[in-house]
Structure 1
Amino acid sequence: MSCSSVGRCFRLCAAPAAGEQSGFGALRGLPAAGADMYTILEYRGLRDKATCGYCRGHGGKASHGMWAHSLTVQDYQDLIDRGWRRSGKYVYKPLMSQTCCPQYTIRLSAVNYQPNKSHKKVLKKMQKFLQDGEVSHTTSDGISVEPMDSQADSPISCNVFCKDKSDVPEDELKPLSSEVEETEKQYGEKEMEKDTEETDKESGDPTETATLKTNVHCMPNPGKGADTTRPPCRKAKDIRKERRLQKLLIPKGDETPLTEPPAVSPTASKPKANGTKSVEEFIDVPDSKNLAHRLEVKLVPVSMEDPEFASSFDSSAALYTKYQMSVHKDLPYECGPEEFTRFLCDSPLEPETRPDGVSCGYGSFHQQYWLDGKIIAVGVIDILPYCVSSVYLYYDPDYSFLSLGVYSALREIAFTRELQKSVSDLCYYYMGFYIHNCPKMRYKGQYKPSQLLCPESYFWVPIEKCLPLLESSKYSRFNGNPKEGDKDHLSELNRVRVLHKRTVMPYSVYKKRRKGPSDETVVKQYATLVGQTCAERMLLYRS
């Protein structure tokens, strides 16, 4: 799922216009703090009939866009919760009812997350590699290398999630099953059987072992045929199925089995531990003094004023070029230092330090993965008041056997959980966009418990309730109450804040001073999309 063409298209449309500048200096009508504490946006309107990077359809993509000269973390948090997403300094919102591949904002409750079997495999694989240097090049982890999304125009951020800086997810956040999709019932049954087999195999069930030994040592004497005094030999797989069925059928507190159990060794099976390892326990590598490899994860703010970011810029940019050319088949001029800077280093977010416990502060960061002193992956993230938002992931293709897309996503989830210990509200991990009619983008639904944003009411709904609706229609309103609409809908256009000729004023004053045709339709469209709260707080630049 290459997004290179989409990325190129987006980068052209998202670039600032000639003569545009991000510095506005001192503005009239604002406190002495100046413009650096305010969001300043230029609304670019609707861009439709664009090529879709997900289904490759021509003219099927549509989204509204804004160029952000500056953006406070709170304003961006509120915009994300209304379906917006940034790619560099370009902020866009898919027109869900018209675009060919609707993109629903998805978030994970990081504090309640427990790794599933596929995620555990990736974590264990990394543990073994660091401890023993063991390398596994198999692709049987049940995970497909898929990026997370880095969006630009339509998707959200090709990040851990396909290339895309503009429209297609791009970093492998998590593997997608390569099997052909079956009906929901068939898929569930198949997965249950697979899970049962793997669990028994990993736990080393003594009952199963004894059964297998019985079958081996009770072979009839040569020439006499089967021993009719003993029960027929049965496959261990069938025994496990029967045992599982019995557990489901036996009423709670009733120890009497419904059917006669198979003849097995008198050795009783040990009960499995009730506790489940957390993602942090898997990440922690024991015996750190005798490791074959050492992995260090550094969080650096996206700023050339930061010495660590500045010193690693060249190696990070070279890694980005290598990744884009190898994984997304970009040409050198499409992924050089300039493009790298515009896409992943230029951020409109204004860094903020608040007295609420987040030691690193809020804003845009690069989470760098250093293996034995060499940078092998970089996860681009935004730390906001209520979440860690994944923007993009790029990595060294030589280390793809470590499933770095999935691994980095799990590390970012663990990082969110760490921040939540200091700031209780910062408890979500935003994975970008979930695109149900794009099979390669469904992997995000495997991170649970997750919620999707209703595109009409902007309420969060558990993904399990959304999936049946998306099976029926690619675009759906998730909120079941038809009377419940946008609580922050535009109610007073005259209170929209406008920046005109370096002066901040309400729209009621601006429209009287403006010369030329009325632009009320455009301003109203902008305010409707961002909501009344943001429209009154942010500054809409009008020339």
Structure 2
Amino acid sequence: MASVVEYKGLKAGYHCGYCDSAAGKASCGMWAHSMTVQDYQDLIDRGWRRSGRYVYKPVMNQTCCPQYTIRCRSLQFQPSKSHKKVLKKMLKFLAKGEISKGSCEDEPMEPSMEDAVAGDMALINKLDLQCDLEKLGDSLTESLEREVKKKGKGTKKEESKEFIQSQDRNEELGSGEPSHAVDVHTVPKPGKGADLSKPPCRKAKEIRKERKRLKLMRQNPAAGPEAFQAPQEPQAKPSRPRSLEELMFGSLPEDASHKLEVRLVPVSSEDPEFKSSLSQSFSLYVKYQMAVHRDPPEECGKTEFTGFLCTSPLEPENPPNGPDCGYGSFHQQYWLDGKIIAVGVIDILPYCVSSVYLYYDPDYSFLSLGVYSALREIAFTRQLHEQAPQLSYYYMGFYIHSCPKMKYKGHYRPSDLLCPETYVWVPIEQCLPSLDNSKYCRLNQDPEAADEGRSRDPDRLQVLYKKAILPYGVFKQQQQQREPGEEAAVLQYASLVGQACSERMLLFRS
């Protein structure tokens, strides 16, 4: 079995759905009549991606919105605070039918503002510290001077001067940070704040311990004070964060309000489960496209649905060292109380689970199904890893730093972006500063690095011509009259797919 592809070449100057540019998009594409899972794995590791049977690669240094392939290292993944909220929300809904108010999310997998800014808070605090200290010193000076004038006490004047001098010394440090912790006490307005002339309040627990100690001392006055010291409590061990699976598959009561079931169905017209659910799945797709993407009904037909999400060039494979479900294209159907409410379209490949698309019932958007399905797919990747150890990554498609709506994928950490020039994976944290400065950039910081998988010998590229398989070098010799641009197109194809794929895949020539 071999992959058979028909290269379509460069397509440039067409509409971009990310930035709404009328003619800014550029990509190269090919039609895949059939494709092995290993070939597709190698292609997506060179920046390719499929939509139905059409496999395309953005021209990164030309297109208006460069699309970087992104993968999550699922084995090290830890859910963020917003991810945990989504999982708790789902469990509450399933257990008691509770619907959280104000939790509807239009954008799939959109992180909360809390998670989006958490990583920047330390830097913001550091930069603002000097400014805050100066403002604090000014306000305290004014406050103390007002108190001095009002009370007219000499001791207060001395304290005021002493405090102002200490603030001046802090400002002279010039580092923006105090050299040690500074306890600052302001004089509260009458009726507001704590009374600083009185000792601070003690916790009730401490007061109870003190009373018990004094009672024991009265009962046995002969013993020294040391005998009644409270025993030191053992230091608590740091709590282990709950895993994704523990948060996701929390126990539900027997009388739970709802039942959610996730079924993995192969994309195949011969599969009975796929066939029986196709009508319901299509109706859900139409509802989603019209409500969420505002598509007109004529663009949501059965032909578009089948070509986009129910047709795949991937040939199913079930090798002995692979996962139980095998490799290929699948639908993950989310059944709630006997009804499909979401479908995640995925490809299971030798090293990863690749997310293709998600559509869901807009009536259940309060469950944040975009986020929930992504977390389920990460958990599913980890499950497959136990059956096939080499399969450990979750590919999320393209990360588009210049498009705010597509930056949510970067919040599934740890994750990597694919360098568009050397095709090596680079941790996303190292890429973000460069992407902030330029839409397109070489992510690999090693100037000496090159594309190790590049095409070195195009003549060894395999061609399918008149039902015969032959190297491109031989094909050229047989062709006395070549079409204009024939060789340029073949060389472009070879450079984009790399040497290994060009020798395995069959390039159809008519």
How would you bin the TM-score normalised by the shorter chain? Answer: 0.7 to 0.9
TM-aligned CA distance change 1:513 to 1:407, over 3 Å: same
Aligned to 1:454: 419
- Tell me the SS of whatever aligns to 2:387: coil
Aligned to 1:251: none
TM-aligned CA distance change 1:183 to 1:444, over 3 Å: closer
Is structure 2 residue 44 aligned with structure 1 residue 73? no
Alignment partner for residue 251 of structure 2, among 266, 286, 289? 286
More off after superposition, 454-463 vs 508-517: 508-517
1:502 positional shift: 1.3
Partners of 1:307 and 1:100 in 2: CA distance: 43
TM-aligned CA distance change 1:441 to 1:270, over 3 Å: farther
Equivalent residues in 2 for 1:13-52, closer than 5 Å: 37-52=1-16
Count of aligned residue pairs for this structure pair? 417
Alignment partner for residue 468 of structure 1, among 430, 433, 438? 433
1:174 positional shift: 3.5
- Tell me the SS of whatever aligns to 2:269: coil
Is structure 2 residue 111 aligned with structure 1 residue 175? yes
Alignment partner for residue 86 of structure 1, among 31, 42, 50? 50
Is structure 2 residue 38 aligned with structure 1 residue 61? no
C-alpha contact 2:111 2:411 (8 A) present in aligned 1: no
Aligned residues with identical type, % of pairs: 62
TM-aligned CA distance change 1:225 to 1:109, over 3 Å: closer
1:230 positional shift: 2.3
Partners of 2:199 and 2:74 in 1: CA distance: 50
C-alpha contact 1:112 1:449 (8 A) present in aligned 2: yes
- Structure ranking higher in helix proportion: 2
Alignment partner for residue 306 of structure 1, among 271, 280, 287? 271
Aligned to 1:398: 363
1:385 positional shift: 0.1
Unaligned runs of 5+ in 2: 126-189, 202-231
Partners of 2:331 and 2:473 in 1: CA distance: 42
Q: Write out per-residue CA displacement over residues 188-241 of structure 1, whole angstroms, 9 at most, x where no aligned residue.
A: 658xxxxxxxxxxxxxxxxxxxxxxxxxxxxxxx999974542579xxxxxxxx
1:177 positional shift: 4.1
Partners of 1:41 and 1:484 in 2: CA distance: 30
TM-score with structure 2 length normalisation? 0.77
Aligned to 1:485: 450
Is structure 2 residue 342 aligned with structure 1 residue 361? no
C-alpha contact 2:106 2:292 (8 A) present in aligned 1: no
TM-aligned CA distance change 1:224 to 1:48, over 3 Å: closer
C-alpha contact 1:145 1:405 (8 A) present in aligned 2: no
Aligned to 2:466: 501
Alignment partner for residue 531 of structure 1, among 495, 498, 501? 498
- Amino acid of the structure 1 residue aligned with 2:98: E
- Amino acid of the structure 1 residue aligned with 2:414: P
1:338 positional shift: 1.6
1:287 positional shift: 3.3
- Tell me the SS of whatever aligns to 1:516: coil
TM-aligned CA distance change 1:228 to 1:113, over 3 Å: closer
Q: Write out per-residue CA displacement over residues 340-359 of structure 1, whole angstroms, 9 at most, x where no aligned residue.
A: 10100010000001101411
Q: Which has the larger radius of gyration?
A: 2
- Tell me the SS of whatever aligns to 2:254: helix
1:514 positional shift: 2.1
Partners of 1:224 and 1:423 in 2: CA distance: 65
C-alpha contact 1:499 1:539 (8 A) present in aligned 2: yes
C-alpha contact 1:127 1:285 (8 A) present in aligned 2: yes
Aligned to 1:14: none
Aligned to 2:137: none
More off after superposition, 466-475 vs 517-526: 517-526
Aligned to 2:262: 297
TM-aligned CA distance change 1:473 to 1:419, over 3 Å: same
Aligned to 1:109: 73
- Tell me the SS of whatever aligns to 1:361: coil
RMSD: 2.7
More off after superposition, 284-293 vs 339-348: 284-293
Unaligned runs of 5+ in 1: 1-36, 147-171, 191-221, 234-266
1:506 positional shift: 0.4
- Tell me the SS of whatever aligns to 2:332: strand
Equivalent residues in 2 for 1:125-524, closer than 5 Å: 125-139=89-103, 144-146=105-107, 172-175=108-111, 177=113, 185=120, 189=124, 227-230=195-198, 273-517=238-482, 519-524=486-491
TM-aligned CA distance change 1:340 to 1:268, over 3 Å: farther
Alignment partner for residue 85 of structure 2, among 121, 146, 164? 121
Partners of 1:523 and 1:48 in 2: CA distance: 18
- Tell me the SS of whatever aligns to 1:325: helix
TM-score with structure 1 length normalisation? 0.73
- Tell me the SS of whatever aligns to 1:43: strand
TM-aligned CA distance change 1:441 to 1:178, over 3 Å: farther
- Tell me the SS of whatever aligns to 1:355: coil
1:513 positional shift: 1.8
Partners of 2:396 and 2:378 in 1: CA distance: 10
TM-aligned CA distance change 1:470 to 1:224, over 3 Å: closer
- Amino acid of the structure 2 residue aligned with 1:45: G
- Amino acid of the structure 2 residue aligned with 1:466: C
C-alpha contact 2:9 2:29 (8 A) present in aligned 1: yes
1:463 positional shift: 0.4
